[in-house]
Structure 1
């Protein structure tokens, strides 16, 4: 049986299927890593070491002469993601009370959830997608995108927009991001039940809204084809820890921390599945358009 060929029949299958299997394992057999231990256990929970080796290997394929393009791409996606989250946060703050929405379909939704879910990109997912598609220079933008992980950028976003204030000591302590658990351990399908349809709706919205804005920025600012922008439209696993981290630094976020965590966790799962699909779809459409577009007349050959 040709396993790889079968997996690749699914759009983005090399990313989605292993991710789905990992989430299913963590949901229905969360103690698997501890049960096996050793190499198998480390492989299940060792996201950071694997990602570290992956980054090194990707870097070894990039020419320093591409550094200008990589910096332009990375800074554009980084500022675009944060700026869009800040804009939505300012708008949402005009309609959503400080303690979040209490009733109806949007019950549990807060400004904290909106900013955190939009503010952070799953850098590992972005890197894997770009490398899988052979976009080595675009993959290099991961160095900039990865700075979004953790509560630091979300705190900065709230501070810059005037939505909240944090002590400078707290900001300094979060500059170095880390994952308390690997990405796989945060992907638990039980969160889908806890946040309900609202969490799924938010996850889909992140891919559509964030993906669309980053697609345009990638095309017209970074001068790319937009695919990298769509690949950056996910929610980082580290964002799950943001609500309680912000609540510890600013008590005003305490009432909405629990509901925001459930919504963000669901968005991590939903975007981890939808972002690869959207990226592959956009990449396919762009390639089809390029094939249909005739070359300039001065490049056409005469038979």
Structure 2
């Protein structure tokens, strides 16, 4: 029975398929994932940050010092463009529509949709389509994959600022893996095949935080949010990747996918910025629906872009 072969036919399948399975379990029989012990630690949201840390370490172990410039250039551009679009979107929403936003999509929901990235999905897709530099760029993207990013973007000067420790915490596993592997080539070789294993468990952990019933709550607000991401944000990211970095654009698509922490971001921001509290509940539901859409659709958009413009495996010889 060729299970792995069938899984690999799905874009980013080594992570997406386990994610779908645990999402189904969490939707219909969530108690199965909450029995405690190793089961809960390995196959529920409780293990998400641990597996992300492992993935960052493995990505660092495959990064040579000579690749750092390219890693910062690729990952840095995607981060800068993402933040610029998010700032612009938040400013335009507040200026022309106010805090309530448009069609039920509040400024809170719009800002989180544009600012929250998904390093896990990015890593899964780069495992299928990217080169080593693309994979290592996850370490840069992870710097903004925190609720502090939309909090800062909303521009409320209440002394919160940027959570520098979140950035440091994201960099430590990556840097540790890079330093060890560059000090001993055997360490690089040891972890060279570890990425698919970690991605499998990361998919399980991320899927266990998704409730597919959220799809039934989709409305006009989600059409606005998904439209902004797919019809406005995504073309900007692809254009920047192709024109500035001269890349095929697949990494830009993967980096545009909404992050899992977007679901908890409204509550965190509402606690820090009381003026957004009335919109926390609706924004949380909207993020859940948009997240489910992005996680299932973006792998296929990435596959389409790869088919049209090529992948890192093809273009790596020219970089």
TM range (shorter): 0.7 to 0.9
Question: Hey, what does 2:238 align to over in structure 1?
Answer: 215
Structure 1: runs of 5 or more not aligned: 160-164, 292-303
Structure 2: runs of 5 or more not aligned: 170-204, 315-319
Question: Hey, what does 2:144 align to over in structure 1?
Answer: 148
Are the aligned partners of 2:241 and 2:247 in contact in 1 as well (CA < 8 Å)? yes
Question: Hey, what does 2:267 align to over in structure 1?
Answer: 244
Question: Hey, what does 2:161 align to over in structure 1?
Answer: 171
Are the aligned partners of 2:130 and 2:251 in contact in 1 as well (CA < 8 Å)? no
Are the aligned partners of 2:117 and 2:144 in contact in 1 as well (CA < 8 Å)? yes
Q: How far apart are the structure 1 equivalents of 2:84 and 2:127?
A: 26
Are the aligned partners of 2:152 and 2:162 in contact in 1 as well (CA < 8 Å)? no
Q: How far apart are the structure 2 equivalents of 1:282 and 1:99?
A: 35
Question: Hey, what does 2:116 align to over in structure 1?
Answer: 120
Q: How far apart are the structure 2 equivalents of 1:110 and 1:59?
A: 38
Q: How far apart are the structure 2 equivalents of 1:186 and 1:283?
A: 29
Are the aligned partners of 2:83 and 2:115 in contact in 1 as well (CA < 8 Å)? yes
Offset at residue 175 of structure 1 (A): 4.8
Against the structure 1 CA distance between its residues 54 and 13, is the aligned structure 2 distance closer, same or farther, given a 3 Å change threshold? same
Q: Which protein is richer in helix relative to its size?
A: 2
Against the structure 1 CA distance between its residues 10 and 128, is the aligned structure 2 distance closer, same or farther, given a 3 Å change threshold? closer
Offset at residue 49 of structure 1 (A): 2.1
Q: How well do the aligned residues superpose, as a CA RMSD in angstroms?
A: 2.5
Q: How far apart are the structure 1 equivalents of 2:101 and 2:164?
A: 25
Are the aligned partners of 2:72 and 2:137 in contact in 1 as well (CA < 8 Å)? yes
| 1:20 matched to 2:20 | yes
Q: How far apart are the structure 2 equivalents of 1:152 and 1:70?
A: 23
Offset at residue 172 of structure 1 (A): 5.2
After TM superposition, the runs of 4+ consecutive aligned structure 1 residues lying more than 4 A away are: 172-175
Aligned pair count?
275
Deviations 1:152-193 (A, max 9, x none): 11122121xxxxx1321x335685279xxx533431112222
Q: Secondary structure at the match of 2:166?
A: coil
Are the aligned partners of 1:73 and 1:141 in contact in 2 as well (CA < 8 Å)? yes
Question: Hey, what does 1:41 align to over in structure 2?
Answer: 40
Against the structure 1 CA distance between its residues 16 and 201, is the aligned structure 2 distance closer, same or farther, given a 3 Å change threshold? farther
Question: Hey, what does 2:176 align to over in structure 1?
Answer: none
Q: How far apart are the structure 2 equivalents of 1:248 and 1:42?
A: 28
Q: How far apart are the structure 1 equivalents of 2:17 and 2:162?
A: 38
Question: Hey, what does 2:83 align to over in structure 1?
Answer: 82
Question: Hey, what does 1:283 align to over in structure 2?
Answer: 306
Offset at residue 260 of structure 1 (A): 1.0
Offset at residue 133 of structure 1 (A): 2.3
Deviations 1:235-264 (A, max 9, x none): 111121222222222221111111111111
| 1:3 matched to 2:3 | yes
Offset at residue 136 of structure 1 (A): 1.4
Which of these residues, 201, 206, 215, is aligned with residue 183 of structure 1? 206
Q: Please identify, of 255-264 and 220-229, the stretch whose mean Cα deviation from structure 2 is larger.
A: 220-229
Offset at residue 84 of structure 1 (A): 0.8
Which fold has the larger relative contact order, with Cα–Cα distance below 8 Å and residues 6 or more apart in sequence?
A: 2
Are the aligned partners of 1:200 and 1:266 in contact in 2 as well (CA < 8 Å)? no
Q: How far apart are the structure 1 equivalents of 2:130 and 2:254?
A: 13
Against the structure 1 CA distance between its residues 172 and 156, is the aligned structure 2 distance closer, same or farther, given a 3 Å change threshold? closer
Q: How far apart are the structure 2 equivalents of 1:174 and 1:267?
A: 28
Question: Hey, what does 1:56 align to over in structure 2?
Answer: 57
Are the aligned partners of 1:204 and 1:271 in contact in 2 as well (CA < 8 Å)? no
Q: How far apart are the structure 2 equivalents of 1:131 and 1:73?
A: 16
Offset at residue 116 of structure 1 (A): 0.5
Offset at residue 197 of structure 1 (A): 5.6
